Amino acid sequence: MQGKLTALGVARLKKPGMYGDGLGLWLQVTGKGAKSWIFRFTLRGRSREMGLGSAHTFTLAEARDRARECRKLTADGIDPIQVRRSKRQEAALEAAKAVTFRQCAEQYIAAHKAGWRSSVHAAQWPSSLANHVHPVIGDLPVQAIDTDLIMKVLEPIWTKRPETATRVRGRIELVLDWAATRGYRGKENPARWKGHLANLLPKRSKVQKVAHHPALPFKQVPALLIALTEQEAVAARALEFTILTAARSGEVMGARWSEIDLEAGIWTVPAGRMKAGVEHRVPLTAPAIAVLRAVQGLDRALVFPSVRRGRSISDKSLRTALDTAGGASVTVHGFRSSFRDWAGECTAFPRDLAEMALAHSVGDATERAYRRSDLFEKRRALMDAWAAYTGSDA
């Protein structure tokens, strides 16, 4: 039976408590005088409560109407709370129709780029989207992105540029996951690989064999270093430093003077800039220090600055320096292989020492846990031998 409450009684109630009107409708009065309508119901043996709004907003008659609609749903075995939640989600998605994929991508990049270790990685994100994604779906509502549209982006590049296509797919997936979390689209992600696109596209390994970075034979490294000394560009000095330290190009391009101790001959690359996320100390040989002296004073913060103030040199600059020195057929990253081949074929230094010089993980997790030293002085001897070799006429 309903009708235990009256409009006047509702207005006069001040004492905190729950006051029933009947048929599941209750008035809740809190200690601060706030009043709200509650609908209590039992569905599938479970008792639940659902707020129907403030008594200052909805009259008793309106609250009864709302409770009646809820009872109709429960009579059919439908949860009114779930129905309301679904309606709110639909309304949010409808409002999100104006939010484009491009806008979501820009917001994703802004939110995450501070956590990316490499400036190169940070630059690749927007450029890959601009080249391959935005022309197709960039200006479409993010809510409208479906499997057909994802395929329209990926199919033209999947077999021709599999590495790029794989990265693009992963970036689309991350942006769409971000959009779903923000409530701009449903949870289903049409860019996911497992159980979805894997059914429509061949595996990357099936369309292209894994290609290693072309490396210069170590016997030709001394001559190339001589050719680099004939160039005056900062990029040439950065490439010299990359070869002499056997470091990754990204670590060199982002090097800062705060990481360098010229007196001690140590370059400490912080964990945040290392691929493995672990701090790495690099022994600086006399030739490596000479390179640093040559660029000292160009910038207060960056060791190898770009001509554009406040920025480090780019991959393209290193590539140009390498091409000019006669290394058009090899890659900058390949010099790490040149160093590794030299250490294995021409020296008696232990294999693990060469791997540690390359900042590779050596041994299993247990072994690494018990190793307290980074064998720095032994690695210094190895790098001194490398510097002597590259400075010879071999």
pLDDT in tens, the chain (394 residues): 667 899 999 999 989 999 999 999 999 999 887 999 999 999 988 999 999 999 999 999 999 999 999 999 999 999 999 999 988 887 776 766 678 999 999 999 999 988 876 666 777 898 899 999 999 999 999 989 999 999 999 999 998 888 889 999 999 999 999 999 988 888 899 999 999 999 999 987 777 554 556 889 999 999 999 999 999 999 999 999 999 999 999 999 999 999 999 999 999 999 888 887 889 999 999 999 999 999 999 999 999 998 877 788 888 899 999 999 998 889 898 999 999 999 999 999 999 999 999 988 776 554 555 456 788 999 999 999 999 999 865 4
- Residue 128 sits in the same domain as residue 87: no
State how far the alpha carbon of 367 is from the alpha carbons of 18, 267, 274, in Å. Answer: 65, 25, 21
Domain that holds residue 166: 99-207
Distances (CA, A) of 260 to 71, 252, 266, 267, 304: 72, 12, 6, 5, 12
Residue 263 shares a structural domain with residue 383? yes
Supply 83's token pair.
């129905």
Cβ-in-10-Å burial (0-12, 13-18, 19+) of 88 comes to exposed
Closest alpha carbon to 151 in 208, 187, 188, 191:
191
Assess whether 242 and 284 both reside in one domain. yes
**Whole-angstrom Cα distance, residue 100 to residue 147?**
16
pLDDT at 209: 53
Say how many domains are in the chain: 3
* Token pair 């104006």: residue: 98
Domain contains 49: yes
Flag whether 289 is in a domain.
yes
**Phi-psi category of 393—alpha, beta or left, where left has phi over 0 and alpha has psi -120 to 50?**
alpha
| CATH code of residue 140 | 1.10.150.130
The partner residues of 260 in beta bridges, in order of sequence, read: 267
- Look at residues 94, 116, 145 and tell me which one is the last residue of a structural domain: 94
CA distance 103 to 94: 16
- Containing 225, the helix (H) or strand (E) segment is helix 221-229
pLDDT of residue 370: 45
What b/e sequence results for 131-168 when a residue is b if at least 16 CB atoms lie within 10 Å of its CB, and e otherwise?
A: ebbbebbbeebbbebeeebbbebbeebbeeebeebbeb
Residues 254 and 372 in one domain: yes
Q: How far apart are the first and last CA of the chain?
A: 101
Q: Are residues 384 and 271 in the same domain?
A: yes
Q: Do 185 and 253 belong together in one domain?
A: no
- Examine residue 212 and state whether it is found in any structural domain, yes or no: no
For 69, the enclosing helix (H) or strand (E) is: helix 60-75
Looking at the structure, tell me whether residues 178 and 301 fall in a common domain: no
Buried b / exposed e along 229-256 (16+ C-beta atoms within 10 A): eebebbbbbbbbbbbbbbbbbbbbbbbb
Single out the residue in 65, 94, 123 at which a domain terminates.
94
The three-state secondary structure class of 28 is strand
CATH of the domain at 87: 3.30.160.390
